[in-house]
Structures are given as C-alpha cells and as structure tokens.
A and B are shown apart, each in its own frame.
Chain A
Amino acid sequence: MTFKFKNVYLNETATVVGPYENKGPLSKYFDKSYDNLYANEKTFELAETKMLNDSVNILLNKMNKNSADVFLSGDLLNQIIPSNLTALEQKIPFLGLYNACATSMEGIIIGSTLIDSEKVSSVICATSSHNCSAEKQFRYPNEYGGSKPKIATFTSTGGASAYLSNTPSNIKVEAGTIGTVVDLGITDVFNMGAVMAPAAASTIEEHLRTLKRKADYYDLIVTGDLGIYGKQILMDYIKETFNIELTKYNDCGVMLYKLKDQSVYAGGSGPVCCPLVTYSVILDRMKRGELKKVLICSTGALHSPTLVNQKLSIPAICHAISLEVVK
C-alpha cells in the first residue's frame, strides 16, 4: 500500500547512543552518548528506557516545545517496556507500536497519516533498542557470550526520535509504503539479513511500481539492518525477481559501525539502527544538499523464539518512507 502525503514535514530529530555506536564512524552526528551500557541505570531495560526518554527530551528542547499532540513509539522488548515507560514520563497521548526493526518507519507512516488527516498537527515518532536487553530476551544471558557466525548482526543500542508536523521545514515526508509480511522459509535465527531481504525487495518494488518511479529516481535508497551479506542478498534477489538494479543503495547496519575494527559481525541491527543512521548522517547530507530524494526502508524480522522453537520459519516486513528536500 503506497500513498503520498500532502503536508507533512520532518522538523527535527534527536539521537542518543551507547558506547559501541559512539565508537563508530557516525559519532559526531549523535546528540548524546553513554560510555556504559547501563547508562547509569540498574538494568538494561531501564538503560534502554533512559536513552529513549533522553532522545524525546532532547527533541523537545531542540524544538523549544513542551509536548506534541501524539507520541508513537515502539521497541523490541516484551510489552514494549521502554516505550511504555517513556510515554508515562512524557504524558503525551500515546500509541504503542511493534513491527520489530521496521517500527521506526511504521511510526513515521502512521504519524504522517494522522497529520495529513488534519486531526493532529504534530507527532513524535520514537524507537529504541539495546544490545543487552535484546540478547537477554531473544538469545542467551549476556555473560554467556556464546560465539556467533559471521552472518549474525549486532543489535544496536540507543534511542531515536523525530518530530513531524504540518509546519513547513526543509525536509518533506513525501510518500510512504506499508509493506506486507514475507516469509521465504529461513529458519536460521542468526541470518536475519536473509530473513528480511525478500520483504525489503517486495516493499521497494511495490513503492516504485505504484509511484511509477525507477530506482535511480532516488539519490539514495537505504535498508534498515540487513548487514553486509543481507545487502548482497537483496541486490541479487531484487535483480532476479523484479529486474530492479539497486545502484545508489546502502544499508544502515553497514553504515553505523566500522565493520573492520568493531566486532559487530555483519553489521548493526535492531529497531534503532535505521533511525540512528537516518536521523544523523543521512539528514545531514540532505540538509547540506548532497542528497535530495531518499527512500528509507526499515526492515524487520518478526522473530519470535517461541515460533522458531516450534520449527516455524521467520516472517519479515519492511516499511518505506520517501523523504525529500524542499526549499
């Protein structure tokens, strides 16, 4: 499902990261960083909450506002703990989201639709993830440290928020595509890039076909967290299935870390990976005029340890947002 938005602008963004992300190539773009994974809190869940809440506070400070009409937020944890606690703190009318690592663009699509309906005038869309709280919930205890294959990705730590409204700014939320769930039978819980690549291909194809655009219409197409191998899989798969050549393409998971120096396997992942890269270096390049039209495709593996233990394969989804520089 693809549609254009009439009057929605991305006014401001805020990013808060953990120590690994701050040692990556994008460190100068982030608003705040913590040098410890606990973010001076007692548990990883509270650390993630703190980073998410910090990002909302920084965002409101930058906007010089106290609140927004609606708060849309989601994360990876059971019952979306960090989002709920942040919503409790912020006292903004709240809708909780879950689409795993595709949550960030899901939020932007819903927020933009609300603003275009003229029922609300401003929305904060936020997302978070934390390496240790995710490992604890989806895999093994953190101190266990079982070894992982090269294809595994590394859940990124941080909180990211965006302020959308009908007040014009130089970044316009131009169009959005709500993806469908795709499952091509991958059961390997470490190979999330292969799980998500078909979903990304399906969403990108649908987006380009509906809007009658070619892939090179965009100055940059990015996927959320396919990792270095998933990126190749997507390029091969989309070429073979839809005959789309992705030339100006990159993956946020690959951009977030120094893959050679940091032990992050195939790259970053997690709901916050895509917005951390988008709201930092990509928006910066748009503001500096290097990029004019960008398609952000956040990819989510709808992974549940229960389903995998019951021998089912992992479904995936991808949502896309087209951002444009306007004068």
Chain B
Amino acid sequence: MDKEKYQKIVDKNCPKENVGINAVKSFLVGGFMGILGQLLLDIYTTLLDIPTKEASTYMIITLIFVGSLFTALGFFDKWVSWANCGLIVPITGFAHAMTSAAIEYRKEGFVLGLGANIFKLTGSVILYGVVSAYFFGLIRVLLFGG
C-alpha cells in the first residue's frame, strides 16, 4: 500500500480536534490575562504612584513570578493543558516553560542539569526575539529615523 492510501485510512479513523472550542477557550483566557495585566498596571500607576514605563516592567515581573510560582507548586501544567495558548502565549507561558525545565533537570546538577537545560523550550523564543528586535529596530531607524 502506498503512503497516500495509508494516510487516508489513518485520517478516516482519527478523531478531529475541537478547534473551535479550543480557540474560544484560549481567546477568553488570553483576554483575561490581558485584563489582569492592565489591572496590575493601573494599580501600580494609581495606587503606588509609579510612572507607567516602570509600572509595566513591574507588571511583567509580577506575572512571571506568579507563573513560575504556580508551576513550582505543581498545578500550572494542568491549567496550561486546559487553556492551551491562552496561557502559553502571554508572558506566563514563557515563565512556565523555563520553570518546568528547571524543575525537571535540577536533579542532574546546577550546571550541567538546570543551567544547561533551563532554556530548552524558551531558547528559541529568546534567540528569535532578539534577532527580530534587531531587524525591526533597523527598519524603524531607516524608515522613521529612530
């Protein structure tokens, strides 16, 4: 049997994923994360009287801390499995990916285990984040003069 014919048998027997429901779930959870971020930002600027630029850094740090803490406490993976990209795309996903790798490889030592593997999932994000920031910065300078 050729590969295309076999693929047809496979497709016939495999269930479809609930793309619609998953997308709505992710959209709602991701949107809620956005509201949460804005809420933190407002609290920091109005109640604590921090300038907006610094307050957004504090907001990001808060979300990273909470994401990492929840991962370390062992229940954030279940939330991620449920909400998918709603929690993976925001900064909490980055924190979660780093912390989960750190927990997994801690037992192989601080240098060759934790140190070498902490960016196992997030290394690509950092690399391509920096590279694209460089190019977008370049475009901005060339088109708008900085």
Contact = CB atoms under 8 A, between A and B. Distances in A.
Interface string A234-264: 0011001100000000000000000000000
Given A143-B104, A144-B97, A191 B1 contact: no
Interface size bucket, B side? 20 to 34
B121 A140 contact: yes
Contact of A141 (B12, B17, B100): B100
B53 interface: no
Interface string B1-13: 1010011011011
B1 A241 contact: yes
A150 B7 CA distance: 17
A144 B17 contact: no
Contact of A142 (B3, B82, B104): B104
B81 A141 contact: no
B80 A147 contact: yes
Interface in A166-192: 184-186, 191
A151 B71 contact: no
A313 to B, nearest CB: 9
Given A144-B121, A146-B81, A240-B9, A191 B14 contact: yes
Contacts of B3: 184-185
Residue from A140, A147, A186, A240 with most neighbouring chain B CB atoms (10 Å): A147
A240 B3 CA distance: 14
A141 B88 CA distance: 15
Given A42-B107, A147-B84, A240-B9, A142 B100 contact: yes
A192 B12 CA distance: 16
A311 to B, nearest CB: 15
A98 interface: no
Contacts of A194: 10, 14
B104 A43 contact: no
A6 to B, nearest CB: 36
Interface string A120-140: 000000000000000010001
Contacts of B6: 184-185, 198, 237
B140 interface: no
Given A198-B6, A232-B13, A143 B107 contact: no
Contacts, number: 81
Contacts of B77: 142-145
A149 interface: yes
A147 B74 contact: no
B7 A185 contact: yes
B80 A151 contact: no
Given A185-B6, A237-B1, A144 B14 contact: no
20 contacts: A43-B107, A136-B104, A140-B121, A141-B103, A142-B104, A143-B71, A143-B76, A143-B100, A144-B96, A147-B80, A147-B81, A148-B81, A150-B15, A184-B6, A233-B13, A233-B14, A236-B13, A237-B1, A237-B6, A240-B9
Given A42-B107, A194-B14, A233-B14, 13 more contacts: A140-B100, A144-B100, A144-B101, A146-B81, A146-B88, A147-B80, A184-B1, A184-B3, A184-B6, A185-B6, A191-B14, A236-B12, A237-B9
Interface of B: 1, 3, 6-7, 9-10, 12-15, 17, 71, 74, 76-78, 80-82, 84, 88, 96-97, 99-101, 103-105, 107, 120-121
- Top 7 A-B residue pairs of the complex, sorted by shortest distance between their CB atoms: A145-B77, A141-B104, A143-B100, A185-B3, A144-B100, A141-B100, A232-B13
Interface of A: 42-43, 136, 140-151, 184-186, 191, 194, 198, 229, 232-233, 236-237, 240-241
